[in-house]
Structure 1
Amino acid sequence: MPTTCDFCGRTAPEEVPPLTWSTSVERGRTRVFCETCSREHLRAMESKLDSEWW
């Protein structure tokens, strides 16, 4: 099963997220974000805001 970005829906062919993707745990659920979304929302991620606030 390919990995899917939880923000934009982009998919990676591997089952394990590529090293350029980032992961987050929000309310007990693991979320995965592609490198584009990770770069675009880096400050919000560092502030530990839930992705709903981005």
Structure 2
Amino acid sequence: MLVGQPSKIDDFNLIQVDEISVYVKKGVIANDDTLTISAKRFLWKESLVVQGMAY
């Protein structure tokens, strides 16, 4: 995952919830039409996890 707008914006759908914007690649299939993004921490490293992608 990268922070910011994708360089090929036409390849992505923009989804906005409250003040959060997420670019999802066109063609991605989500289980129950829902993607869940959560933050995880392991020791000193933080990462984002996306759940619900069926591709």
Normalising by the residue count of structure 1, what TM-score does the alignment of the two structures yield?
0.39
Q: Which has the larger radius of gyration?
A: 2
Higher helix proportion: 1
Higher strand proportion: 2
